[in-house]
Structure 1
Amino acid sequence: MFCMAHSSGFTGLMGHELFHRRFWLHKLVGTISMCKFFYGHFVMEHCAGHHINVGTLEDPATARRGESYYKFLFRSSLSGIKDAFNREVERAERWGHSGYGLYNKVIFLTACQTFWILLMIYFFGQRMILLHLIYILLPIALLEGANYVEHYGIERKKINKNYYESINHLHSWNTPHKVTNYLSFRLQRHSDHHVHSYRPYQTLRSYEVSPQLPFGYETC
């Protein structure tokens, strides 16, 4: 079970790569991969929140300097859900729909995820609740662990009351280690991913000016 949950974490890495693509089918498969461990909201929060607010206090997925992983895990996961939900309410109402109906993607994906769990309970019994809970929690811990390392303690300069400096190659931690880069679909070339979010993982570049970690993400 733990091996399956850990492999689901790697599925999340693939999902992250896919939902960043422009083609709708890639986005769909990437979203489904996140829904497997009840984290479908992450797609909206990551693209419309994290990639805009990274390195600021408005981004729950940026770890503050001195913040422990466990405190970050609690704050990032809960605030990510809240921010994604509120953003979807605004989007739905902007298009003339109820912000609290299925046009809200967070509500829609939560309904789909809940239906999936109920379906498993129906076929395999209530023992699936505990097993699936393990399957859900471990990938989330791994995913948020990556978030913790990627931007720990990094802050973008505030230019004025309303604007921060543009995102550049100084705003993410990177590492050139080959093995962990292969395992993580070059997620560790993270600065380039944020500057060019649609760039496929195999063409992401490494820059000497970017902050460098002494070890790979998995080790850190």
Structure 2
Amino acid sequence: MKANTLRASDLRFLLGLLLPALTVHSVSQRPHAAGFVALGVLFLIAALEAFIPALARSPAPLAEGESLRWVLRLFVPLEVALLFAGATAAMNASWPTLAGVAIAVGFVTGAQGITFAHELGHSRHRADRALGWVLMTLVGYPQFMVEHYRGHHVRAATREDPASARAGESLWAFLPRTLAGSLRSAWELEGRQLARRHRGWLASPLLWATAASVAWLLALAALGQWKLLAFWVGQSAFAVWLLETVNYIEHYGLQRRVQADGRPEPFGVAHAWNADHVLSNSLLANLQRHSDHHMHAAKPFAQLEPLPGPQLPTGYSGCILLATVPPLWFAVMDPRRADRAAVGSV
């Protein structure tokens, strides 16, 4: 039964602030080990969720979820502090240590920063959406703020969507297709919206955010700050890789039927893979309750329901690792997809 006030179990979302804070300490005090610590956390969460049945269920949703949006807002200065700490460590590090620091920082800016930017971008508050733009610009991927909301949410689980993986498509085949397709789609969608509103490109936040990202990298190169440049590109690349790997997982092999009028059927519970594993859900703002998110995009993350749609074998952490090895991924996921199709659910 839903509650009307915050419960002790809802404090689990504070893990979203604990991880970046611990990573600031890691890259500042033990930069040579930071990358191994970050990967260790990923493997540990995956193992715990795969082998402890009690962790496969998250607490019931809240009746009112706005009260937890402050967790997302507080994350933004934490990410800025983390990037500063990572940049400081990278400037004085050996190249192998720099790579580890970039992985540690990118693990947070990707797994959480992009996830929180995604949630903030769905907010009705303009200030929240601005914070989403900030987070995505910090990883050099501002096109997400256009493509996700105006593209992916319209076309998800169709062949027209660059962020929906097709049956039999490996992660490594999906990545170049989604990166190129999402970039192209974002600029096309932005251009159409500007034309509808009779505005020029100078009114486009996508243009300004992209310009800021490029200008920052060019400034680092011009100043000869090669280690800082490598760190920034490295953390951004790892963050984007995590984003697109999660995109790969979320709709793999699921496709909406085409109706008589040529348009896809409405998005339903059967068109996204779901998981309710508590550690990943706590860190990722209930992103794994993905069918409900697509069906009710404006619903705050704490209110999302665990719907009985297609279910992943474990949480996102474990599925990210599975997806990197296509034969393992296909062996686990294709029978699940076939079972859904056999009962007419897909």
Q: Which of residues 132, 139, 142 is equivalent to 2:239?
A: 139
157-166 or 68-77, which deviates more: 157-166
> Displacement of 1:138 after TM fit?
0.1
Instruction: Tell me which protein shows more helix as a share of its residues.
Output: 2
Where 2:114 maps in the other structure, the secondary structure is helix
Stretch of structure 1 that moved more, 36-45 or 114-123: 114-123
Aligned to 2:167: 65
Which structure would you say has the larger Rg?
A: 2
Question: Are 1:162 and 2:262 an aligned pair?
Answer: yes
Aligned counterparts of 2:261 and 2:184: Cα–Cα separation in 1: 24
Query: Quick one: distance in 2 between partners of 1:82 and 1:105?
Result: 16
Which sections of structure 1, spanning at least 5 residues, go unmatched?
none
- Matched residue SS, 2:133: helix
Deviations, residues 49-88 of structure 1 (Å, cap 9, x unaligned): 0001001111100000010101111111111010010111
SS of 2:314 mapped into structure 1:
coil
* Correspondent of 1:3 among 77, 85, 104: 104
Q: Structure 2: give runs of 5+ residues left out of the alignment.
A: 1-100, 320-346
Distance in 2 separating the partners of 1:80 and 1:161: 26
The counterpart of 2:114, out of the listed 12, 37, 52, is 12
Kindly indicate whether the alpha-carbon contact (under 8 Å) linking 1:151 and 1:172 is maintained by their aligned counterparts in 2: yes
Rounded Cα–Cα distance in structure 1 between residues aligned with 2:255 and 2:288: 18
SS in 2 for 1:170: helix
Identify which range, 83-92 or 137-146, moves more after superposition: 83-92
- The answer to whether the 8 Å contact 1:121/1:128 transfers is no
Q: CA RMSD in A?
A: 1.6
Provide the identity percentage.
33
Q: Distance in 2 between matches of 1:120 and 1:203?
A: 42
Which of 143, 168, 171 is equivalent to 2:271?
Answer: 171
d(CA) in 2 for partners of 1:120, 1:29: 24
Which amino acid in structure 2 is aligned with residue 211 of structure 1? P
Out of 133, 138, 145, the position equivalent to 1:36 is 138
Distance 2:155 2:229 in 1: 35
After superposition, the C-alpha distances for 1:118-176 in whole angstroms (9 at most, x for unaligned) are 45556772332222111111000000011000000000010024311101111100012
Query: Do the aligned residues in 2 keep the contact of 1:185 with 1:201 (CA within 8 Å)?
Result: yes
Aligned to 1:211: 310
AA matched with 1:8: T
Q: Whole-Å Cα distance in 1 between the matches of residues 116 and 222 of structure 2? A: 29
Q: Tell me: CA distance 1:114–1:28, structure 2 relative to 1, closer, same or farther (3 Å).
A: same
Asked if 1:47 corresponds to 2:149, the answer is: yes
| 1:87-115 superposed Cα distances (whole Å, 9 cap, x missing partner) | 111111222234xx333443222112123
Hey, what's the Cα distance between the residues in 2 that align with 1:218 and 1:51?
23
SS at match of 2:255: coil
CA deviation vs aligned residue, 1:7-64 (integer Å, no higher than 9, x gap): 1111111111111101000000011101111110101100000001001111100000
Within 2, Cα distance between the matches of 1:144 and 1:33? 16
Task: Report the TM-score when normalising by structure 2.
Answer: 0.60
Q: Which runs of 4+ in 1 moved over 3 A?
A: 118-124
Amino acid at match of 1:128: L
User: 2:191 matched to which residue of 1?
Assistant: 89
Q: Which residue of 1 aligns with 2:213?
A: 113
- Answer whether contact 2:133 2:209 (CA < 8 A) is retained: no
Q: Report the count of equivalent residues.
A: 217
1:191 alignment partner, SS class: helix
Q: Say which SS state the counterpart of residue 219 (structure 1) adopts.
A: helix
**AA in 1 matched with 2:163:** A
AA aligned opposite 1:218: S
